[in-house]
Chain A
C-alpha cells in the first residue's frame, strides 16, 4: 500500500482532487475483474476501486453462525440410525428431508435453497471440527477466528489473508450489519464495519460537514493508531458511500429480500459487490443458534425450523440478486462448535463439537456433502459429540487457494497443511 495522500485512500483523492493515474489504473483493472456486472455505478466505479495490485479472486463472504450452529439439524444424517435414537423428540423425520441421498438430506426449512443445491451452487462439508475442544463459546470462537493454534499470533485469519495479498482499498474487507469487527479481522490490514450503507454519512449541512470532515481528518491524523485508523477510514469512506447511496438499493433479477437483519446485511454486501469498491472479504454475523431449550419440530414455529427458514430466505435472495455475479462470490458458514448428538432434557442440545459448513457460489461443487463421515456410533463420537474429521482450515484453505488466488497458506494458517477436499473448483 502506498500512501501519497493524507489518508492514503482513493476516496480521499476522488473527493478532494479527482482521480490520480495510479488510482485510475488500479480501478480499471478491478472493474475488468467484475466485467460481468453492469449497473448505474459503472462510471463511479473508476474512482473508488483498489489501488495497487488488482484483486482478481472471488469475494469471500464469511457468515458466522454464532452461538453454536446445529449442523446435524441442517444437513441431517438420516442414514445413520444413531441420529434418530439420540434425538427422539427433535430429529427431522427422513420423509421430510429434501434432496435426500443414502446418508444425508436437507432440513425442509432450507427449501428456498433447494434450486441452488440442485444446480450445484450450494454444497456442504460435514463433520468439520477445530483443534479447540473446550466447547466454550468464547474460547472456541477466538481460536477459530485466530486460526493459529500453537502459535502466539494475535491476528485473525482474514487479516492475515488480506496482509498476504496486500494493497487493497478502504473497502477491501467489510463487516456488515455490525459496528464491531470480527476477531478474524483483527490485525494491521484495514477493514470497515458498517451497520448499513445508507446511514454511513455525516448528518447536517453538507457544506459545513465537508469542513468538519477535513478538520477531523487533520486532527485524528496526529492521534495514536487505534484512534487514527478508524477516523481515517470513516472520513475516507464518506465519498464512496455517498456514491453507492446515489445508486439506490434496488435488488436485481426480481429478488425480494425478506425484512430480516440477515437479509438486510446480505443486501448491503450485494450493493458493495455491485458497486465495485474493491471488496475482497465480507463478514456477516447470524447468531441465536444456542438452542439449549426447545429446538423444536421441523414445522413453522419450531425454533430451528424458523431460524433455518430465515437463513434460507435471506441467502436465496442474495444469490438471486447477484445472479451471474455469484460466479465470483463464495459464501462459507462457520460456527464455533456443533451441538451434542443427543438431545438434552429440555428438547434442546448442549454444546458439541463436529459441525456442517455450508458453501454457496459459482465455484462450489454443490449438490453433495463433502468430507469423510465418522459415523455416530458411541465409539465414533468425541465426548458424546460428532467427531471433527475435516479441519475447518481444510475448507477455508481450499477456498483461499482455488477461489481467492492465495498462493501459499503458510502465513494464513501457520504450521498447517490443508488436505484437499474438492469442495470448490479452481477459478478459471
Chain B
C-alpha cells in the first residue's frame, strides 16, 4: 500500500459523522452539503477545472468556442498551441538553455539553475496556454521526483525537466522511464551512479520498482529488489563531464530475474542492453499499468477512483504500448470523470496559481523578481514546484493537505495577491476592473458579478448572504461607486470570495 493510497483510504474512514460532533458543526448541514454543492455542474467547466491550473475569462471563451472535444484535442497537441507570450517570459531564464557541460563550466556547484527551474515551472503553470501539458509535466515530475533543489543535481536537474519530462510528458511511458533511469540527475539522486557489482547501492533499484513502476503491491521479494539494483549496476555518470556513461567493469554479470523478466546477462559489455530491456519490461508490466492508471485517476478524477476505472485505464495503457494520450482521452471520456464534480481539492500551489490566473496577474515588466517572490510564497505554503523533499512526489489527496495553518496560508495569500502587497513587481490590473464598467445597481448584483468573474459561477444562497453580511449590505441595497468596499476594502471582498470553498476545489 502506498502513502497516497493510505491517505485516500483514510479520507473515507474519517466520515462526517465521526468528525463533526468534535467541532460542533451541525450534522444536519453536512448531511446535505457535499463539495459538489459548490460547483456548477457544467461539464466544460468541470473539464477546465481539472485539466488546467484554473479558469480565466479568456480560457472559458476559447473552450466554449472550441467545445470540450475540440479544446481537449488542442491541449493534447501542445506544440501547435501559440505560446509566444509565455515563451518570451521564459527567455529571462537563460540558464535553462545551458547543457550540463555549460553549467559545469560556468556555475560549478551553484544552485541557481535549479531555482530557475522551479521558478520557470511556476511561470509556465501560470501563464502557458499549454495548460494540460503543464499539468502533466507536474504529474510526471512528481511521479519521477528528483527534489529540486537538492544536492548533486545542480548541473543536471534542469536538463531532466527539459529532456525527460517535457519531451515525454504526452509521449509513452516506456521511453520516459528509460530516459529517466539513465539520466544523470536520476542516477545521482537515487545513487545508482555509485552502484557497482560487489557493492551495489539499492536506492535506485528499490524505488524503480516501488515508486516508478510496479509499486509494492506487485509483491516483489527482497531478493528481486536486490536483483533490480544489480541489473542497473554500470549505469553511472562520468565524473569529469557529468554525462551518462555505461561502465562495463561495474556491471554485475550472471542470470537475473525479476517479476517474470529474466536475462542471461552473461557479459559485462551487454549489461546496458540488459538494463534497457529490464526497464522496458517494467514499463509494460500490468502492475505498472495499474499503478500509473491509479495515479492519473487520483490526479484527475477523485481521491479514491474505482477499481473498474483503474482496470479500464490500465487496459488502455497496455493496449497502446504505454502511450499516455490514449489513457487521458479514456479518462476524460469516462462516466466516473463526468460524475466527479467537486471531488478534488486544490493543493496549496494550485490554489496560488489559480489565484494568479483568475486575478489576471502578469509577470514583471522586466526581470524575474516577482516570480521569485511567488516561488517563496509557494515554498512557505509547503509546496514549491518540484521541491518535495523525499523520493516520492507531493501527495495529491485532500487529506494530506487538510490543515488549519495550510488554510490560513491560502487566505493570507489571496489577500496578499489581491491587495498587491506582495510580490510588488508583478503587473496587476486595477482590482475595480474585475467588476463590469457599468456597476450593478445593487449589492446582490456586485456579489454575483464578482463571484462570476472570480469563481466562474454563482454562490450558494447561504454564502451569498455571508458575503453580504461581511460588507454590511443587503441584497437590494443600492450601490454607491465610492463605497469603501469598492475602494480601499475591495481587496478584502475579493479575498473573501477566494477564501470560500469554491476556489479550493478543482
Given that A179-B381, A351-B202 are contacting pairs, would A8 and B22 also be in contact in the complex, using a CB cutoff of 8 Å? Answer: yes
A38 within 8 A of B: no
A219 within 8 A of B: yes
B14, B201, B467, B495: the one within 8 Å of A186 (CB): B14
Check if A179 sits within 8 Å of B216, measured CB to CB: no
How does the 8 Å CB contact mask read for A87-108 relative to B, with 1 for contact and 0 for none?
0000000000000000000000
Nearest-Cβ distance from residue A203 to partner chain B, whole angstroms: 5
- Point out the residues of chain B lying under 8 angstroms from A195, CB to CB: 380, 382, 405, 409
Interface-facing stretch out of A28-36, A249-257, A272-280, A340-348: A340-348
- Point out the residues of chain A lying under 8 angstroms from B19, CB to CB: 188, 225, 229
A402 within 8 A of B: no
Check if A221 sits within 8 Å of B29, measured CB to CB: yes
Query: A397–B380 Cα gap in the complex (Å)?
Result: 36
Given that A194-B405, A345-B198 are contacting pairs, would A227 and B10 also be in contact in the complex, using a CB cutoff of 8 Å? Answer: no
B14, B409, B415: the one within 8 Å of A187 (CB): B14
- Point out the residues of chain B lying under 8 angstroms from A5, CB to CB: 24
- Point out the residues of chain A lying under 8 angstroms from B400, CB to CB: 180
Interface-facing stretch out of B162-170, B189-197, B294-302: B189-197
Given that A138-B2, A225-B14, A345-B201 are contacting pairs, would A230 and B402 also be in contact in the complex, using a CB cutoff of 8 Å? Answer: yes
Given that A181-B403, A190-B22, A193-B405 are contacting pairs, would A146 and B470 also be in contact in the complex, using a CB cutoff of 8 Å? Answer: no
Check if A155 sits within 8 Å of B412, measured CB to CB: no
Minimal Cβ-Cβ distance residue in A for B462: A222
A142, A209, A225, A290: the one within 8 Å of B16 (CB): A225
A154 within 8 A of B: yes
Given that A180-B403, A212-B492 are contacting pairs, would A223 and B501 also be in contact in the complex, using a CB cutoff of 8 Å? Answer: yes
Check if A345 sits within 8 Å of B194, measured CB to CB: yes
Given that A154-B9, A222-B462 are contacting pairs, would A203 and B22 also be in contact in the complex, using a CB cutoff of 8 Å? Answer: no
Interface-facing stretch out of B364-372, B384-392, B441-449: B384-392
- Point out the residues of chain A lying under 8 angstroms from B401, CB to CB: 180
A187, A212, A228: the one within 8 Å of B499 (CB): A212
Check if B24 sits within 8 Å of A3, measured CB to CB: yes
Query: A224–B403 Cα gap in the complex (Å)?
Result: 14
Residue in A180, A190, A202, A351 with the greatest tally of chain B CB atoms within 10 Å: A180
Check if B408 sits within 8 Å of A192, measured CB to CB: no
Main SS at interface, chain B? helix
B398 within 8 A of A: yes
Interface-facing stretch out of B30-38, B114-122, B309-317, B423-431: B30-38
- Point out the residues of chain A lying under 8 angstroms from B15, CB to CB: 225
How does the 8 Å CB contact mask read for A221-245 relative to B, with 1 for contact and 0 for none?
1111111111111100100000000
Minimal Cβ-Cβ distance residue in B for A195: B405
Given that A203-B416, A233-B404 are contacting pairs, would A138 and B23 also be in contact in the complex, using a CB cutoff of 8 Å? Answer: no
A67, A146, A204, A227: the one within 8 Å of B501 (CB): A227
Given that A226-B14, A346-B201 are contacting pairs, would A234 and B404 also be in contact in the complex, using a CB cutoff of 8 Å? Answer: yes
- Point out the residues of chain A lying under 8 angstroms from B16, CB to CB: 224-225
Query: A6–B200 Cα gap in the complex (Å)?
Result: 59
Query: A408–B409 Cα gap in the complex (Å)?
Result: 39
Interface-facing stretch out of A129-137, A304-312, A415-423: A129-137
A200 within 8 A of B: yes
Minimal Cβ-Cβ distance residue in B for A134: B216
- Point out the residues of chain A lying under 8 angstroms from B25, CB to CB: 7-8, 221-222, 225, 228-229, 232
A368 within 8 A of B: no
Residue in B1, B16, B195, B405 with the greatest tally of chain A CB atoms within 10 Å: B405
Task: Give chain A's interface residue range (CB within 8 Å of chain B).
Answer: 35 or more
A20 within 8 A of B: no
Nearest-Cβ distance from residue A299 to partner chain B, whole angstroms: 20
Check if B419 sits within 8 Å of A226, measured CB to CB: no
Check if B415 sits within 8 Å of A203, measured CB to CB: yes
B463 within 8 A of A: yes
Query: A325–B245 Cα gap in the complex (Å)?
Result: 58
- Point out the residues of chain A lying under 8 angstroms from B466, CB to CB: 215, 218-219
Minimal Cβ-Cβ distance residue in B for A170: B404
- Point out the residues of chain B lying under 8 angstroms from A293, CB to CB: 191, 194, 201
Given that A3-B23, A136-B216, A230-B402 are contacting pairs, would A200 and B201 also be in contact in the complex, using a CB cutoff of 8 Å? Answer: no
- Point out the residues of chain A lying under 8 angstroms from B13, CB to CB: 154-155, 187
Nearest-Cβ distance from residue B329 to partner chain A, whole angstroms: 30
Residue in A154, A193, A211, A222 with the greatest tally of chain B CB atoms within 10 Å: A222
Main SS at interface, chain A? loop
Query: A190–B407 Cα gap in the complex (Å)?
Result: 15
Check if A179 sits within 8 Å of B7, measured CB to CB: no
Count of interface residues, chain B, beta-carbon cutoff 8 Å: 81
- Point out the residues of chain B lying under 8 angstroms from A136, CB to CB: 206, 210, 216
A141 within 8 A of B: yes
- Point out the residues of chain B lying under 8 angstroms from A178, CB to CB: 382
Residue in A190, A228, A351 with the greatest tally of chain B CB atoms within 10 Å: A228
Count of A-B contacts with CB under 8 A? 237
Query: A221–B467 Cα gap in the complex (Å)?
Result: 14
How does the 8 Å CB contact mask read for A152-195 relative to B, with 1 for contact and 0 for none?
00110000000000000000000100111101001111101111
Query: A359–B101 Cα gap in the complex (Å)?
Result: 49
B325 within 8 A of A: no
Check if B415 sits within 8 Å of A204, measured CB to CB: yes
B489 within 8 A of A: yes
- Point out the residues of chain B lying under 8 angstroms from A175, CB to CB: 403
A216 within 8 A of B: yes
Query: A326–B64 Cα gap in the complex (Å)?
Result: 64
B20, B470, B496: the one within 8 Å of A225 (CB): B20
- Point out the residues of chain A lying under 8 angstroms from B196, CB to CB: 345
- Point out the residues of chain B lying under 8 angstroms from A219, CB to CB: 462-463, 466, 500-501
Check if B206 sits within 8 Å of A351, measured CB to CB: yes
Nearest-Cβ distance from residue A315 to partner chain B, whole angstroms: 21
Check if A350 sits within 8 Å of B202, measured CB to CB: yes
Minimal Cβ-Cβ distance residue in B for A135: B222
Check if B406 sits within 8 Å of A139, measured CB to CB: no
Residue in A66, A141, A220, A383 with the greatest tally of chain B CB atoms within 10 Å: A220
Given that A180-B400, A287-B390 are contacting pairs, would A204 and B11 also be in contact in the complex, using a CB cutoff of 8 Å? Answer: no
Given that A137-B390, A178-B382, A203-B412 are contacting pairs, would A229 and B203 also be in contact in the complex, using a CB cutoff of 8 Å? Answer: no
Check if A216 sits within 8 Å of B411, measured CB to CB: yes
A264 within 8 A of B: no
Query: A182–B402 Cα gap in the complex (Å)?
Result: 11
Query: A194–B409 Cα gap in the complex (Å)?
Result: 10
A188, A208, A220, A345: the one within 8 Å of B489 (CB): A208
B23, B409, B416: the one within 8 Å of A232 (CB): B23
- Point out the residues of chain B lying under 8 angstroms from A154, CB to CB: 6, 9-10, 13
Nearest-Cβ distance from residue B402 to partner chain A, whole angstroms: 5
Query: A237–B404 Cα gap in the complex (Å)?
Result: 9
Query: A204–B466 Cα gap in the complex (Å)?
Result: 20
Query: A9–B22 Cα gap in the complex (Å)?
Result: 9
Given that A204-B415, A215-B496, A222-B462 are contacting pairs, would A193 and B406 also be in contact in the complex, using a CB cutoff of 8 Å? Answer: yes
B61 within 8 A of A: no
Given that A1-B21, A136-B216, A188-B19 are contacting pairs, would A181 and B402 also be in contact in the complex, using a CB cutoff of 8 Å? Answer: yes
A405 within 8 A of B: no
Check if A212 sits within 8 Å of B402, measured CB to CB: no
Nearest-Cβ distance from residue A94 to partner chain B, whole angstroms: 25
The A-contacting residues of B in range 86-143, CB under 8 angstroms, are none
Check if A224 sits within 8 Å of B33, measured CB to CB: yes
Query: A348–B195 Cα gap in the complex (Å)?
Result: 11
Interface residues of A (CB under 8 A from B): 1, 3-9, 66-67, 134-139, 141-142, 146, 154-155, 175, 178-181, 183, 186-190, 192-195, 200-205, 208-209, 211-212, 214-216, 218-234, 237, 287, 290, 292-293, 344-346, 348, 350-351, 383
Interchain residue pairs A-B with the least CB separation, the first 6:
A345-B199, A3-B24, A8-B24, A154-B13, A234-B404, A233-B404
Q: List 9 A-B contacts (CB under 8 A).
A: A66-B390, A137-B392, A175-B403, A193-B405, A216-B500, A220-B501, A223-B33, A224-B33, A229-B22
